[in-house]
Amino acid sequence: MTDVEPLELAPDLRKIYGKLGGDDLVIVNELHQAKGFRKLHIETAVLGSSLDILHAVFFPDPLFDLPIFGVDLVAVPGTISAAIVDLSPVGNSLPVFIENELFKLETPSFKSVRKIPEWGDIFSPYVQFISPRDSFENECFLNLVDQFLKILITYSESIRPDSFNDPKTIERYRKQVYYCFQQKRNDKTRNVLAKIFGLDWANKYIDKVLFDSPLRINI
């Protein structure tokens, strides 16, 4: 990944403090941009000694034929309780190179596969949403995340942007707006944040930090 640069973020959103059930909550956000990507967002959240969360989404610039990389890990002491990774298409389909590489991956047969939420039509057929059963499955999943990232980065280094008025650019813009809209339907995230910080703050955080839409393209 080339030309990585930091993005501005208000200091009070870089590191956020709260309390839940008597435990201290610390949320840390990092934002960058790079060639082909309008936003690389990594968020970590730690709740006392009982819960650790990693949330990362790499949003492509709609000028580039790149999918959205997303991974979430929820860890409790001793194990990962929930994990999801995907390269989500924002065109009519995944780029051919990425589709072929994902198809060739030897995906482990995880024992506890979780149900995709009803708003999850944004995900690809290669999405993995699981509850790892043991340290072996933890390692397998983390290796899978690494392979998804390598596929994306390899492809991103070889492509060039389309024009602003190219129909493919406009379609990718629309699909990315839809991706963000669907993610905002995840009431679990909103409800937890609202319980700690209030509903107005939760809505603003989701809209401006987690799932902000790309800059509008005149269509």
Q: Is 216's pLDDT higher than 80?
A: no
**E strand residue ranges, 61-200:** 68-76, 79-88, 128-130
Radius of gyration of the chain (CA): 18
Q: Is 218's pLDDT higher than 80?
A: no
pLDDT at site 217: 60
In a domain, 190, yes or no: no
Q: Is 83's pLDDT higher than 80?
A: yes
CA distance 55 to 71: 6
How deeply is 1 buried, as exposed, middle or buried, from its count of CB atoms within 10 A (0-12, 13-18, 19+)? middle
- Per-residue pLDDT of 186-206, as tens digits, reads 888 899 999 999 999 999 999
Which range is least confidently modeled, 1-10, 43-52, 92-101, 199-208?
Answer: 1-10
Phi, psi at 210, each rounded to 5°: -75, -50
pLDDT at site 1: 78
The domain total for the chain is 1
In a domain, 146, yes or no: yes
Residues 145-152: what's their mean pLDDT?
A: 98
The pTM of the full predicted model, rounded to 2 decimals, is 0.94
In a domain, 193, yes or no: no
Residues 206-215: what's their mean pLDDT?
A: 93
CA distance 185 to 118: 10
Q: Is 2's pLDDT higher than 80?
A: no
Instruction: With cut-offs at 50, 70 and 90, classify the pLDDT of residue 72.
Output: very high
CA distance 25 to 94: 37
Q: Is 99's pLDDT higher than 90?
A: yes
Residues 168-179: what's their mean pLDDT?
A: 95
Instruction: Assign 197 to helix, strand or coil.
Output: helix
Beta bridge partner(s), residue 72: 55, 84
In a domain, 38, yes or no: yes
In a domain, 157, yes or no: yes
Boundaries of domain holding 152? 5-163
In a domain, 58, yes or no: yes
pLDDT at site 201: 95
- Per-residue pLDDT of 21-50, as tens digits, reads 889 999 999 999 999 999 999 999 999 999
Instruction: With cut-offs at 50, 70 and 90, classify the pLDDT of residue 156.
Output: very high
Instruction: Work out the percent of the chain whose per-residue pLDDT is above 90.
Output: 89
CA distance 44 to 142: 16
Residues 128/144, Cβ–Cβ less than 8 Å:
yes
Token readout for 189 is 């995230």
Q: Assign residue 91 the CATH number of its domain.
A: 3.40.1500.20
In a domain, 189, yes or no: no
Residues 67-80: what's their mean pLDDT?
A: 94
Instruction: With cut-offs at 50, 70 and 90, classify the pLDDT of residue 91.
Output: confident
In a domain, 65, yes or no: yes
